[in-house]
Amino acid sequence: MKTKIGVIFGGISREREVSFAGGRTVYDNLDKSLFEPIPIFIDSFGNLVLLNWEFVYKGSIRDFYPASSDLPKSPHAFQVYAESLGDLDSREQMTLIEKIGSRLDPSRLKELIDIAFLCLHGCDGEDGRIQGLLEFYRIPYTGSGINASTIGIDKVLQKDLMSKMGFEVPANHSIERERWLDRTAHSEIFQELKKKVEFPLVVKSSKQGSSIGVSVLRDDNEEKFIEAVDQSFFIKHLKKEDWIDLSHSQKVLFVKDLCDIREGIGVPIKLGSRMIYHPEELLSILMQVFAESEEEILIEAVHGESAVLFESFISGKEFSCIVVEDDKGVAIALPPTEIRKGAEVFDYRSKYLPGLSRKITPIDVDQKKLDSIRQACENLYKQLNFDVYARIDGFIKDDGTVFLNDPNTTSGMLPSSFFFHQAAEVGLNPTQFLTYIIVTSIRARIADMNEYGSLTKLLLKVERQIEENSGSETSKKKIAVLMGGYSSERHISVESGRNIFEKLASSEKYLPIPIFLTDNENTHELYTIPVNVLLKDNADDIKEKIDHYKVHDVINEIISKASDITSKYGSKESLKAPQKISYNDLKGMVDFVFIAMHGRPGEDGAVQSELENVGLPYNGSNPGTSEITIDKFRTNEILMENGFQAASHILVHKDDWLKDQNVSIERIESHFKYPFICKPVD
């Protein structure tokens, strides 16, 4: 019987979308030969919901909860979460939940799951509360225990403890919310701060993650200081003169941004004695308030922040390091990743949107500095009594000084996260790494929950199944996952290929083999690639690694130190150097090819023809159909010839456009009225 894993995700925090996306990644990547994933969604009201599986694959929480039929009309098209429906009673909440699954009483969890895989972020997820609830019901869970989680959520407490433990800590200062709400104290607080922390400095919400509520102050400017602290406390002082200067569309945009849970202060909102749940309601009240006698108002998030931390801005290379532990509890820092970002702060957008930052693993420093980073991270992991794994961020200065920053008891679990990226460097694909996390977490709970009987049996069961499955790869159907290419869509192809690889890697039937295609329309070069290359940022990074493949000395050292982990959960082939192969070679390696390519040569019939030439089956249409559908003009012509409705169109050739643009424009304008759509033919 498979072990039932309750994937707990969502939540009430500002990071709920990161949690939802991470939960989906875990749900997909759990080894289906060992585990049965059970999706348990926590909604905006803190309800546990046994989620119908189809909702796991929605793009965001707002795409399915609350259902569109339950949303109030919004003339300004504000997008909202369930809390914007108001202070709903239990029956009303149940009505919402029944459309996506069934409500769970916490006391029933033990009947449904064997262990909880926590993908929650922020309050009620990383602060020890969910851990305490699960321990009360004697349910094991992943990651650190209650005490470490309490420390991991609180940046002010962390700084105090780290300083007392002898770690390098930047100059810092903190203030409490109640003092800040006394506006007459702002100048005094600013003067106090300047005596303790020099500019530039960083302003942070004490208990937020994903860089929410973070800003940098470069200058001695009290007005900007007040604005930054308000942002970190999730409050807004709004003056009548500023409001009335806005156009109507600007007022709508202001309210939209203010109610955003990541960039603004979120909802519900307190405005004096009034509680406001919906952006439309806020917009209406602001119109009314400033039409009367009010000159300035205070808008506060109900879910605000209790303290704000100030610390010196550190100039140096920024890194993030995942720390794990072996069977004996020895901490092992994985290769730290350097974060190269476009913005001053590695903010929410930089962390979770592709292309806004780059990851360099290991960080580009000499061996001595690398060792210093890893040793500091391992020491902090032990000093704070973390369990199973942690993500520790920091900076290293040119002189080698290491500043550790924001130790986290959990990590983002999106496919591109540090969590999977660094595990891949030592040879573990996402499915293998998640199996390691589960087994190590059961072992940790045996120690701190004093639940030796049932948990020991669970541990022995899972480890026995892992051992039994260790030779099963030979019986699985081998699937080449073909990605890359040379078109402008090659990066999207890599994302698709990784997604397919990870889903197949977690299956009971298939063994995926990642194949990268490059070069040009005349020549296809195929390469087998190891998992650490597969998880690089984009297609160009993968190509660069293929051309200059080398395993860094520190990674070899970590692989050796973590051999108990990699030998048990990994594969000998996982870090094999890229190899150039032919289509004939591919025929001898796999049973089937999954084409995960976009644009040429994956959608134009070229790859399909090559595969047919060597007798390899593949997904999708045949070469002839692919050759037609890559060409939008030809496709539309065929549709119209066969009686289908299609948009009127003309084809403008590049040579004609370059020869005389005016002639081409005249031809276009004689055929179409504005507006019209212009798109590449393929």
DSSP string, 476-527: SEEEEEEEE-SSTTHHHHHHHHHHHHHHHHTSSSEEEEEEEEEE-SS-EEEE
d(CA 205, CA 203): 7
d(CA 3, CA 33): 10
All domains of the chain, ordered by start, with CATH?
Answer: 3-152 (3.40.50.20), 168-309 (no CATH), 472-629 (3.40.50.20), 632-671 (no CATH)
Task: Name the 3-class secondary structure at 300.
Answer: strand
Residue 233, CB-side half-sphere exposure with 13 Å CA sphere: 24
Residue with tokens 């580009």, as numbered in its chain: 364
- Bridge-based pairing state of the strands 274-276 and 269-271: antiparallel
* Cα 641 to chain centroid, rounded: 46
pLDDT score at 343 = 53
Closest CA to 458 of 440, 479, 475: 440
pLDDT tens per residue across span 276-299: 999 999 999 999 999 887 889 999
Tell me which DSSP letter residue 593 carries. E
pLDDT score at 400 = 96
Q: Tokens standing for 530?
A: 């190891």
Burial class (CB in 10 A: 0-12, 13-18, 19+), 93: buried
> What's the pTM?
0.93
Are 382 and 332 a contacting pair, CB within 8 Å?
Answer: no
Cβ neighbours for 310, distance < 8 A, ≥ 6 positions apart: 172, 173, 174, 175, 193, 196, 197, 201, 202, 203, 204
Q: What are the helix (H) ranges across 248-316?
A: 248-258, 279-291
d(CA 275, CA 87): 10
Residue with tokens 């092992």, as numbered in its chain: 332
d(CA 141, CA 672): 62
- Bridge-based pairing state of the strands 317-325 and 331-333: antiparallel
d(CA 361, CA 374): 13
Are 145 and 133 a contacting pair, CB within 8 Å?
Answer: no
Q: Rounded to the nearest 5°, which phi and psi values hold at 299?
A: -110, 125
d(CA 587, CA 53): 36
pLDDT score at 340 = 87
Cβ neighbours for 54, distance < 8 A, ≥ 6 positions apart: none
For each successive 10 residues of the chain (682 residues), what is the average pLDDT?
97 95 96 97 97 97 96 95 96 97 96 97 92 95 95 93 95 95 95 95 89 90 95 94 95 96 92 94 94 89 93 94 95 95 51 62 94 97 96 95 93 88 94 97 91 88 90 86 94 95 95 93 92 93 94 92 92 87 97 95 94 97 93 91 92 92 92 91 84
Distances (CA, A) of 48 to 41, 51, 124: 6, 9, 12
